[in-house]
Amino acid sequence: MREIVAATRNKDKVREIRKILKGPNVRILNLDNLKNIPKIVENGKTFEKNASKKARVVSKYTHKLTIADDSGLEVDALKGKPGIKSARFAGRAANYDKNNAKLLKALKKIPSSGRKARFVCVISIAKDGKVLKVVKGNCRGRIAFEPRGRTGFGYDPLFVSPKYGKTFAELGPDIKNRISHRYRALKKAKTALKRLLDF
């Protein structure tokens, strides 16, 4: 059984990663499966720097092939914000609902034509503290005027896919996982992992 560590404790991300990277004889671990992992301060100024730092630290500690992602939402009208601070957009005590509420408030006076945005996901693959590959995926859309849908997480209830005219939360995981920024990045990562692990 080949093991890959996903350097996250976010159960929603782990669920997507496992579904997209599934393969014969491959087991995806996450930080909740491991003990005494050093605390990682995500203080990079780009998605790539944060993803690579997590991948390096965790892979050096576990000696296992590790993938780490840093992802977020960039809104044109907000000059790319919330960006790398997407998970903490509403402050240290932020949660999905608070972040979405703050985003809607910031865009309150912005018409539909000005609500363009994109999800970005950068994935770093590392082993023994050395980054082996960095890949990126993005997905363009726009921000809705109110939350819609019951599935997904993060900004999914607000992010409208132009192809479907629905939010990611309305589309559900099966469709979302075929078009999302994380899917596009993980698809590239899977190609690299196949070469590294032969699965």
70 is a catalytic site residue:
yes
Compute, in degrees rounded to 10, the torsion defined by CA atoms 149, 137, 6, 27: 90
Q: Measuring CA to CA, which residue among 8, 111, 20 is closest to residue 50?
A: 8
Relative to beta strand 2-6, strand 66-75 is parallel
Rounded CA separation 72/25 (Å): 31
Strand order in the sheet with 66-75: 26-30, 2-6, 66-75, 116-127, 130-143, 159-161, 166-167
Q: In this structure, are residues 137 and 182 in contact, taking their beta carbons and an 8 Å threshold?
A: yes
Residue of 69, 70, 128, 156 marked active site:
70
What DSSP character marks residue 38? P
Residue with tokens 């608070």: 98
Tokens standing for 121? 């996901």
Q: Which residues are catalytic?
A: 70
